[in-house]
């Protein structure tokens, strides 16, 4: 699922005055009168268009406990949601529940926009997916509830693999690299056996985490960039090998149009969001006329011998600290994201927010690949200045320098470390 990465560093000024209201505590609203008359829930159009019955079920559950309550819904598209949220957080008209892309959470949490919640009050919180749990956790405290996830998988063309004498998807990285070598030899130097845009830091950092490295490490509340560690350098080196051997396209590209490039027919494989394969099969994207039913997802194996840890996209739900109905907001979130809600979301093709429900999907051939891939995940450092790192595109710059040969892996990582360390601990 597409997620626009928004650092949200511009909310500082408007959030300065935010403080907890009335007698509510800061964990989803404990000391609150029983006579809450109104609840306002902000969601994206995904819920409005794709699972409105799940929204109604949550409404009904809350209304049963609070007779007479009026639950209002507002729906927003991803591009304009945060601008509207920024504006309303500067007033006393904050919504009680707001949906956030998991990459958007940190910027708002750092500025004090969301109330602390008690995870024990939410279904399956002890089994939340690692990548989603990290996105709602800051300073050891939780400020949101995972809603649903979208994973990353490998996808390749079955016809291209078959022409190279390959009959099954690879289960290990050694098998994958051997298969890619066969495909590259068969198709020639103008074909990318693996189309991997160099600036795709989600893919690159998967190699880093697979090798035991990380973007940054925390020590006593202070973060320090870790890209020059031996483990991180190993992962970056393995990523460079991919670009050198099988990526024959533009070495300055990002991943934004990967699925449309894939649809041109000059690539045998991609590693991206799970929706990209099916999007490529769209007749408007498929310029070959032969990709429908010819693309196959598989779990991306890592050089370590384990499944590649992937970045999980997805959504979280948070309670603005200015909400005057924090406890009821928490009840609505649990009704929406709890056991029954997750069943409904799974039925709509989403990955659940927890490993308990994920286990069932692994046993179903229709969902086994994305479910298995999502088991091992990583997330960005939950550091106060991470938004500034993203805004400056430090990782993308490093990766492009490595891909084009402008800098060695070690020199590019060292330069990125210095740039990250300048801002990562700054609110």
Rounded CA-CA distance 227/224 in Å is: 9
Question: Which 3 state secondary structure label does DSSP give 116?
Answer: strand
Write the CB contacts of 108 (distance below 8 Å, at least 6 apart in sequence): 8, 11, 15, 100, 114, 318
**Local structure of residue 352 (DSSP, 8 states):** P
Task: Report the C-alpha dihedral over residues 33, 38, 40, 46, rounded to 10 degrees.
Answer: 120
**Topology of domain 152-310+392-423, CATH:** D-Maltodextrin-Binding Protein; domain 2 (3.40.190)
Residue 351 sits at φ, ψ, to 5 deg, of: -85, 140
CATH architecture designation of domain 9-151+312-378: 3-Layer(aba) Sandwich (3.40)
SS (H, E, C) 58-109: HHHHHHHHCCCCEEEEEEECHHHHHHHHHHHHCCCCCCCEEEEECCCHHHHH
User: Nearest-CA neighbor of 407 among 224, 202, 236?
Assistant: 236
Answer whether 9-151+312-378 and 152-310+392-423 agree in fold: yes
Own/partner pairs, 43-50, CB within 8 angstroms, 24+ separation: 43/73, 43/74, 43/75, 43/76, 43/97, 43/99, 44/75, 44/76, 44/77, 44/78, 44/81, 44/99, 44/315, 45/75, 45/76, 45/77, 46/1, 46/315, 47/75, 47/99, 48/73, 48/75, 50/348
User: Nearest-CA neighbor of 310 among 154, 124, 197?
Assistant: 154
Structure tokens at 51: 């699972």
Residue 384 sits at φ, ψ, to 5 deg, of: -60, -30
Rounded CA-CA distance 31/20 in Å is: 12
Strand partners, 272: 153
pTM of full prediction above 0.75: yes
Alpha-carbon distance values, 353 to 142, 222, 264, 346, 377 (Å):
15, 29, 34, 10, 12
Residue 172 sits at φ, ψ, to 5 deg, of: -130, 165
Residue 382 burial (10 A CB sphere; 0-12, 13-18, 19+)? buried
Per-residue pLDDT of the chain (427 residues), as tens digits, is 333 333 332 333 333 333 333 334 445 444 344 468 999 999 999 999 999 999 999 999 999 999 999 999 999 999 889 999 999 999 989 999 999 999 899 999 999 999 999 999 999 999 999 999 999 999 999 999 999 998 899 999 999 999 999 999 999 999 999 999 999 999 999 999 999 999 999 999 999 999 999 999 999 889 999 999 999 999 999 999 999 999 999 999 999 999 999 999 999 999 999 999 999 999 999 999 999 999 999 999 999 999 999 999 899 999 999 999 999 999 999 999 999 999 999 998 899 999 999 999 998 888 999 999 999 999 999 999 999 999 999 999 999 999 999 999 999 999 999 999 999 999 8
Domain borders along the chain are 9-151+312-378, 152-310+392-423
CB 150 within 8 A of CB 102: no
């Amino acid at each position: 699922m597409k997620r626009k990465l928004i650092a949200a560093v511009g909310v500082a000024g408007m959030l300065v005055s935010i403080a907890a209201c009335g007698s509510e505590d800061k964990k989803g609203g404990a000391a609150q009168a029983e006579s809450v008359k109104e609840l306002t829930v902000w969601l994206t159009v995904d819920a409005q268009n794709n699972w409105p019955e799940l929204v109604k079920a949550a409404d009904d559950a809350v209304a049963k406990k609070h007779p007479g309550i009026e639950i209002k819904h507002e729906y927003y598209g991803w591009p304009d949601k945060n601008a509207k949220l920024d504006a309303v957080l500067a007033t006393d008209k904050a919504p009680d529940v707001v949906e956030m892309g998991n990459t958007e959470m940190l910027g708002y949490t750092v500025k004090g926009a969301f109330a602390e919640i008690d995870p024990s009050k939410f279904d399956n919180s002890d089994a939340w997916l690692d990548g989603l749990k990290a996105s709602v956790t800051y300073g050891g405290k939780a400020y949101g509830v995972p809603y649903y996830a979208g994973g990353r998988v490998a996808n390749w063309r079955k016809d291209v693999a078959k022409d190279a004498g390959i009959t099954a998807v690879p289960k290990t990285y050694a098998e994958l690299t051997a298969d890619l070598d066969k495909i590259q030899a068969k198709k020639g130097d103008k074909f990318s056996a693996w189309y991997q845009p160099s600036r795709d830091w989600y893919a690159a950092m998967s190699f880093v985490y697979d090798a035991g490295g990380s973007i940054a490490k925390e020590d006593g509340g202070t973060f320090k960039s870790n890209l020059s560690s031996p483990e991180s350098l190993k992962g970056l080196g393995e990523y460079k090998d991919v670009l050198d051997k099988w990526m024959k396209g533009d070495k300055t590209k990002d991943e934004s149009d990967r699925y449309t490039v894939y649809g041109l027919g000059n690539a045998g494989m991609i590693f991206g969001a799970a929706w990209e394969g099916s999007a490529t099969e769209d007749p408007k994207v498929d310029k070959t006329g032969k990709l429908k039913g010819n693309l196959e997802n598989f779990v991306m194996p890592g050089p370590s011998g384990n499944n590649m840890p992937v970045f999980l996209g997805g959504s979280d739900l948070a309670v603005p600290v200015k909400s005057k109905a924090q406890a009821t907001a928490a009840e609505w979130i649990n009704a929406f994201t709890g056991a029954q809600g997750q069943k409904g979301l799974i039925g709509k093709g989403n990955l659940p927010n927890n490993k308990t429900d994920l286990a069932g999907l692994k046993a179903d051939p229709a969902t086994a690949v994305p479910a298995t891939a999502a088991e091992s995940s990583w997330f960005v450092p939950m550091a106060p200045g991470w938004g500034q790192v993203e805004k400056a595109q430090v990782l993308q710059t490093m990766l492009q320098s490595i891909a084009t040969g402008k800098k060695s892996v070690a020199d590019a990582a060292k330069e990125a470390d210095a740039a990250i360390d300048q801002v990562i601990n700054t609110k």
